[in-house]
Amino acid sequence: MLFRNIQIRWNLWAGLIALIIILSSSVYSHYLSKQIAEEERSMVNTWVEAEQTILKSKDTFNLNLASKITSENTRIPIIETNELDEPTGNWINLDSNKKQTTNDWLKKQVNIWKNSNRSPIVVVLSDSPYIANKYYYGESLIARQIRWFPLIQLLVVSIFIAYLFSTQYYKYKNSQNQLWVGMAKETAHQLGTPLTSLQGWMEILKEKSIADDVLLEIQKDVERLQLVSDRFGKIGSQPQLEKTSITDLTLRMIDYMKKRTSQQTQFSVHAPEQKLFAETSPPLIEWVIENICKNALDSMEGKGSIEVTICEHNENIHIDIKDSGKGMSPQIASQIFRPGFTTKKRGWGIGLTLSKRIMEEYHSGKLQVLHTELNKGTTFRLSLPIAE
């Protein structure tokens, strides 16, 4: 548990450090984007002045310098329009391979740049009437890359963190599974020795002419212990599933529970006339039903009613076990399947955990608290896929 807590803390610190790196990178990238945007506007302004020089100047030196300046802009796309934002046909750094020189496309691009909070460079040619050229411009490739860099970084780090946590989770689940399997195998092994001894003593008692009714009860207890050992053995390895009548199995278990409880507990079973079948390991499903019923009896303190309903819905068989016991608060209901959690003075808090494992990992089913209310009782639902 200590190692597990250290791992969790380390993962949280790793995630926090990664988040700080991303935030720092985002702030710095935003700063760089602003700097590049200012630099690019200055470059566009210089390009526009050079264009005007080419149009107006007759000095050879000025013309050569202006031509050099305009030719050096190879990364910022620019579109020239008139005062009405109609493209004039003068543009640079657009992908002409995609036929982006049509007037309609140029208009659309100008509208996109207008909505991006980049005001155009305006050159007034005449005040009356008002005639002007406007130069709209877009982001260069490097500006877009810097703007998107934090998001790409966030995606990469998120994938890394998700991988880290999923790896740790599966390692934890695997170690937990190994613990359950090891515990189950050891329990089955430990039960095996006294069982063998008890069976030997049974044979001796028969030879001693002990009363048949006494021998019968002892035999039942031995068989019960054998069943418990068999159940733990099945948890310790992948059980063999067989097509089982859930109706018959449930009725058999409820009948078993009836004989071992007081007459102050009333049992009732509601099942469809047609039998419902699922692929199960009968001893394990019986164990789950027994665990739920025992919890119900503890909650009712031996007095009340247990109502069992079997039905079919959406290709699943539902077994609802409802008791008239104390019920649970939402806080307790959310923890009852957690290993080691128990509200009893005695107990290890593994019965419901094992039951959930049996349902979900061995039978592809579900075990859940369908409904609970304090002082009104609890309903557990067991769900199993219908056998084909």
Asked if residue 199 belongs to a domain, the reply is no
Q: Are 362 and 237 in contact (CB under 8 A)?
A: no
Produce one character per residue of 303-314: b if its CB has 16 or more CB atoms within 10 Å, e if not. Answer: ebbbbbbbeeee
Cis, peptide link before residue 283, omega less than 30° from 0? no
269 has a pLDDT exceeding 80: yes
Asked if residue 290 belongs to a domain, the reply is yes
> Residues 82-92: what's their mean pLDDT?
89
Produce one character per residue of 351-367: b if its CB has 16 or more CB atoms within 10 Å, e if not. Answer: bbbbbbbbbeebbebeb
pLDDT of residue 1: 45
Asked if residue 223 belongs to a domain, the reply is no
pLDDT of residue 323: 95
Q: Are 277 and 246 in contact (CB under 8 A)?
A: yes
224 has a pLDDT exceeding 60: yes
Report, in angstroms and rounded to the nearest whole number, the Rg of the chain calculated over CA atoms: 39
Number of domains comprising the chain: 2
Confidence of residue 3 (pLDDT cuts 50, 70, 90): very low
User: Which position has the higher pLDDT, 166 or 211?
Assistant: 166
Q: Give the model confidence (pLDDT) of 193-210 as tens digits.
A: 566 667 777 777 777 777
> Residues 232-239: what's their mean pLDDT?
66
The answer to which of 20-29, 47-56, 130-139 has the lowest mean pLDDT is: 20-29
The residues, ordered by sequence, that sit 6+ positions from 93 with a Cβ below 8 Å of its Cβ are 73, 74, 75, 76, 77, 78
* Threshold 0.75, pTM exceeds: no
User: Across the strands, what pairs with 87?
Assistant: 81
Give the whole-angstrom CA distance, residue 299 versus residue 332.
13
Task: Among 117, 144, 171, give the residue marking a domain's end.
Answer: 144
User: Which position has the higher pLDDT, 255 or 118?
Assistant: 255
33 with 137, same domain: the answer is: yes
Domain containing 101 equals 2-144
What phi and psi, each to the nearest 5 degrees, are found at residue 32? Answer: -60, -40
Task: Among 105, 126, 144, give the residue marking a domain's end.
Answer: 144
pLDDT of residue 2: 42
Asked if residue 214 belongs to a domain, the reply is no
Asked if residue 292 belongs to a domain, the reply is yes
CATH number at residue 330: 3.30.565.10
The answer to which of 60-69, 141-150, 230-239, 302-311 has the lowest mean pLDDT is: 230-239
pLDDT of residue 348: 55
Asked if residue 209 belongs to a domain, the reply is no
Task: Among 144, 159, 181, give the residue marking a domain's end.
Answer: 144
